[in-house]
Structure 1
Amino acid sequence: MVDSAQSKFVAAGPGTRDRRRVIENPAVPDRLPGQFRSFFAAIAGSDFGTQVSYVALPLTAVLALGAGAAEVGALTALTTAAFLLIGLPAGAWVDRLPRRAVMITTDVVRAVLYGSVPVAWLLGALTMPQLYAVALLGGVATVFSEVAAQTFLPELVGRGHLVPANARLMGARGVNQIVGRSAGGFLASAFAAPVVIALDALSYACSAVVLWRIRVTAPAGPARPRSRVWPDVRDGLRHVLGNRMLRPLAIEGALTNFATTLTITVLPVVFVRELRLDEWVLGVFLAVGGCGALTGAICARALAARFGHGRVLWIAGVAASCAGCAVPLLGSGSGLWFAAVGWAVLTTKTGIGNVLAVSLRQSITPDHLMGRMNATFRFLLTGALAVGGVLAGALGESAGARAVLWVSAGVFAVTWLAVFLSPLRSLRELPEAQDAPVTRAGATR
C-alpha cells in the first residue's frame, strides 16, 4: 500500500533519460487552492442544469412538438455543431483573452438562450426552429466556456494538482448525471419538459455570479508577437496530431463520443415510443450512467497509481467493449436491467478516461499552447458528437432505433485499440510539459 503522503507522479520526458519531476506536492497532495472551491461550485452548479436539459430538451422536442428520430438527431447535432464550425479558432482566441471573463460571458449568454424556451412555451410560441437556434447558439457559447475552463484550471491549481482537481470535477459531473438526469426525467413527467429547462438557465446565471467573485492573477507567459489566428490554429493541430501520446487520446475519445451519441440520440425514441415507458424511467436509466461516471472518476487516481495511466486506459476500454453489447438488448423487463448494467460499465470507462486523459493532456502541454490544445480536442471529440447525432437520426429513420444501438456497440468494441497500439499502453505516470522555444504567438520550433 502506497502512503498517500509520500506518493508522487513522476515520469521521464520524451527523448530524455532520468528526467523526472514531481507533479504533486508530497506534503499536501490533495490540498487545492481556496479559489478552486468557487470554481468547482460554478462548474458543478451549471453542469447540474446542463444534465437536466440533457433529458428535458429532447423530451421537449418529442412531447411538446411531436418530433421524431430525425428531428431529435438534428437537435443533438446542432448542440455540438459549433465545435465543428468555430472549435479550432476558439482555442486561439481563448489564448488571447482573459479565461475567467470568457466563462462569465458565455454563462450569461446561455442563461438567456435556455431561459427563452420555457417563456416561449408558456406563450404558445415554441417551435422546432427556436429549439434548433438555442441548441446551435448555446453550443457556440459552450465551445468558448469549456475551452476556457480547461485552460484556466492549470492557472488556478497549478500542474501539480491536476489529477485531484480533475477527479473532483469529473466526480461532480458523475453526481450531476445521476441527480440532474433523474431530476430532468421526474420533473418533465410531473410538470412539463419546457418548464424544466428553466433550471438550466438559472444554473448558468448563478455560475456567472460565482465566477465573477474569483480573483486569480495568472502568471505572466512568454512575450509573443501578435499573429493571425489560423497559423495559431495550425500550431495547435500540429501539437495534438503530431504528438505520439496526444494523438491516440484524440482518436479514442472521438470514437467513444461518436458511439455514445449514437446511443443517447435514439434512447428517447426507444423508451417513449417503442417500449412505451414513462419519461422518468429514461431519466433513471441515464442516471445509472452517471453512477458509472462517478465511480470511474473516484477510482481513476488509485487505479493509475497501482497499474499505470496507460494500462488503466486500455483495460477499461476492453471492459467497455464487452459491456456495450448489452445496451442493444434493452427491453421493458429484465432486458432493461441488463442494458442498465452495460450502460453503467460503459460510463465507468468514460469517468476513468475523463480524469486520466484530461490530466495527461494538461500535463504534457506547455502554457502557451494550452487553449489551442483544449480547443483541438474539443473540436475532434465534440465534432464526433455532431456526426453521431446526424448519423443516428438518419439511420434511425431508415433502419430503426435498435439498429443504431447495435452500430454503437460495434464502435465501442474497437475504441481501446487506439491506446493499446500506442506508447500510452505502457505509460505509468504523467510526463512533463513538452516546452519548445516560442517563435510566434505560441508556435514552437
Structure 2
Amino acid sequence: MKAGLLGRPDFRRFWLADALSQFGTRISVLAIPLLATQTLHASAFQVSLLRTLETAAYLLFVLHVGAWCDRIRVRPVLVVADLGRAAALATVPLAAAFGSLTITHLLVAVGITGVLTVWFDVAHQTYLPRLIGRDELVEGNARLQANMSIAAVAAPSPTGFAVQAVGGASVVGLNALGYLWSALWLRAVKTPEHVPPAAEKRHLRREIVEGLRFVARHPVLRAVAGHGATHGFFQSAQIAIVVVFLSREVRLSPFAIGLLSTSTLAGAVVGAFAARPLADRLGYGRALLGIGIFEGVSYQLFPFTAPGWALACYVLAGFGSSFGIVAMNVLSASFQQAAAGEHVRGRVNATVRFLVLGVAPLGSLLGGVLAEGAGLRATLFVAAGGVLLAMGWLVFSPLRNVHDLQMHGYA
C-alpha cells in the first residue's frame, strides 16, 4: 500500500493517535487478566466479570451515543474519552504502590474505561468519513485496522515479559500513557469538522429507532450485524476465560502467554492488508463470505490446545481467526460507512456496535458461569461451536451478489 492517506498531515495525526490507543488497549487486554489471575488470585468468574464490565456499556449506552454523535463535533469526544481512560487506569498502579489494590478497584477502573471506550469507538467511526472522502474509506479503514493488527501482534510478548518482570499493575500504567499520548495527537488535527445541519426538532428515541430500522431493513447490513452479534457473544465467552485457561490448565508463564498471543495474531496483520486485494479480486460480497467461513472453521482448533505439540492448535486457530476477524472488519466497516448517509451514519455505527458488542457482557458472563460449572476446556468447545453457527447469517444472505460498495443502491 503506497503512502496514500498517510501523506496527509491530519490523517497521519489521526492515524498515530489511533495507533497509540490500540497499543495501550492491547497491553491491558493481557495485563489486566494476568494481574487479576496471578496477583489478586481472582476466580475464573471474577476474571470474566472484568470482560463483562469492559463491554457492558455497549449494551446500555451505545445507541444513545450514536444518536448524539450525529448531532455534534466528535473530535472533542475522542480527546475527552482518551483523557478519561488514562485517568481511570492510572489509579491501578497508584493503588498497587500503596498496597491497596483489590479486585473491586480493578473492576471499577475497567468499568469506567469501558463507558469511555463506547464514546470513543462510535465517535471514531463517525469521524473518519468527516475527515476523508467516501472513495478513500476502504484505504482509511485498512490503515486503522492495520494499527489494530500490528498492536495485537507486537504488544502481547513485551506485555507478558513486563508483567513477569515488574508486575501487572505497573504495565497497566503504560496503557494510561498511551491514551494520554493519543489525546495529544487528536488535539493536533486541524481539518475543520463538518457536522450535518440539525433538524428543527430532534427526538432521541425516534433517532435511535431510525438507526435500528435502517440496519434491520438493509439485507447485507442485517446479515453482517447478525453474524457479528452471534460471533461476538460466543467469542466473548472464550476471551473472558482464555488467559485463566492458558495460565492454570496449560500452565504457561505470563511471558509464554504473551509470546503465544503474538504468534497467533500475526494473521491480523495479514488480514488488514489482504482485505482490499481480496475484495478487488473476488468482489466485496464473496470476499466477505469466504473470509467469514475460513475464520469460523479456524476457530474450531482452540479447544484442542494442550501442553507440548498441541500448542500448535492455538497458534493455527489464532492465526486463522485473527486474519478473518480483521479482514471482515475492514470490509464491513467500509460498507456500513458507505451504505449510511451522513445524517444517520453515527446511529448506524452505534446500532451495529450495539448488536455486535452489546452481547459481549452476556457472553462473558456465560463464559464465567460455564468455566465454574463445566470447566475451562468445555467452555472453549461451546464458544467454538457458537462461532461456527454464526456463519449461517452470511451463507444465507445476498452477500455473494454484492461486488462493490456502489452496487444495488447500497451507497
Give the C-alpha shift of residue 433 in structure 1: 10
What does the per-residue CA deviation read over 1:264-302, in whole Å, with 9 as the maximum and x for residues that have no partner? 222111111112211112112222342111111110000
What amino acid does structure 2 have at the position aligned with 1:67?
A: A
What amino acid does structure 2 have at the position aligned with 1:332?
A: P
Q: 2:252 aligns with which of 274, 277, 285?
A: 277
Give the C-alpha shift of residue 183 in structure 1: 2.0
Give the C-alpha shift of residue 361 in structure 1: 0.5
Q: 2:128 aligns with which of 145, 153, 167?
A: 153
Q: How does 1:430-441 map to 2 (within 5 A)?
A: 430-431=405-406
Match of 1:286 in 2: 261
d(CA) in 1 for partners of 2:163 and 2:195?
48
Match of 2:365 in 1: 390
Give the C-alpha shift of residue 79 in structure 1: 0.3
Q: How does 1:20-419 map to 2 (within 5 A)?
A: 33-219=8-194, 221-419=196-394
Give the C-alpha shift of residue 425 in structure 1: 2.2
d(CA) in 2 for partners of 1:334 and 1:432?
47
Give the C-alpha shift of residue 320 in structure 1: 2.1
Confirm or deny: 8 A CA contact 2:159 2:171 kept in the other structure.
Answer: yes
Give the C-alpha shift of residue 381 in structure 1: 1.2
Fraction of identical pairs, as percent: 35
What does the per-residue CA deviation read over 1:251-272, in whole Å, with 9 as the maximum and x for residues that have no partner? 1111222232222222111111
Secondary structure of the 2:192 match is coil
Confirm or deny: 8 A CA contact 2:6 2:12 kept in the other structure.
Answer: no
Confirm or deny: 8 A CA contact 1:91 1:376 kept in the other structure.
Answer: yes
What does the per-residue CA deviation read over 1:6-63, in whole Å, with 9 as the maximum and x for residues that have no partner? xxxxxxxxxxxxxxxxxxxxxx976764311000000111110110000001111111
Give the C-alpha shift of residue 169 in structure 1: 0.8
Q: How does 1:6-17 map to 2 (within 5 A)?
A: none
d(CA) in 2 for partners of 1:223 and 1:383?
28
RMSD of aligned Cα (Å)? 1.9
Confirm or deny: 8 A CA contact 1:363 1:432 kept in the other structure.
Answer: no
Using the size of structure 1 for normalisation, the TM-score is: 0.89
Confirm or deny: 8 A CA contact 1:88 1:379 kept in the other structure.
Answer: yes
Higher percent of residues as helix = 2
Give the C-alpha shift of residue 426 in structure 1: 2.0
Confirm or deny: 8 A CA contact 1:55 1:184 kept in the other structure.
Answer: yes
d(CA) in 2 for partners of 1:397 and 1:51?
26
Unaligned regions of 5+ residues in structure 1, if any?
6-27, 437-445
What amino acid does structure 1 have at the position aligned with 2:112?
A: L
Secondary structure of the 1:221 match is coil
d(CA) in 2 for partners of 1:435 and 1:428?
11
Give the C-alpha shift of residue 228 in structure 1: 2.4
d(CA) in 2 for partners of 1:32 and 1:256?
36
What amino acid does structure 2 have at the position aligned with 1:188?
A: V
Confirm or deny: 8 A CA contact 1:32 1:161 kept in the other structure.
Answer: no
What amino acid does structure 2 have at the position aligned with 1:230?
A: R
Using the size of structure 2 for normalisation, the TM-score is: 0.96
Shift of the 398–159 alpha-carbon distance from structure 1 to 2, 3 Å rule, reads same
Secondary structure of the 1:240 match is helix
Unaligned regions of 5+ residues in structure 2, if any?
none
Secondary structure of the 1:245 match is helix
Secondary structure of the 1:120 match is helix
What does the per-residue CA deviation read over 1:115-167, in whole Å, with 9 as the maximum and x for residues that have no partner? 10011011111111111111111111001101001000001111110001111
Larger radius of gyration: 1
What amino acid does structure 1 have at the position aligned with 2:80?
A: T
d(CA) in 2 for partners of 1:420 and 1:431?
22
Q: 1:428 aligns with which of 403, 408, 411?
A: 403
d(CA) in 1 for partners of 2:294 and 2:237?
19
Match of 1:15 in 2: none
Shift of the 31–132 alpha-carbon distance from structure 1 to 2, 3 Å rule, reads closer
Q: Which moved more, 1:284-293 or 1:37-46?
A: 284-293
Secondary structure of the 1:413 match is helix
What does the per-residue CA deviation read over 1:345-395, in whole Å, with 9 as the maximum and x for residues that have no partner? 011110110100000000110001111111111111111221111100000
What amino acid does structure 1 have at the position aligned with 2:323?
A: T
Give the C-alpha shift of residue 230 in structure 1: 1.1
Confirm or deny: 8 A CA contact 1:184 1:196 kept in the other structure.
Answer: yes
Shift of the 103–30 alpha-carbon distance from structure 1 to 2, 3 Å rule, reads closer
d(CA) in 1 for partners of 2:279 and 2:358?
28
What amino acid does structure 2 have at the position aligned with 1:302?
A: P
What amino acid does structure 1 have at the position aligned with 2:403?
A: R
d(CA) in 2 for partners of 1:271 and 1:375?
33
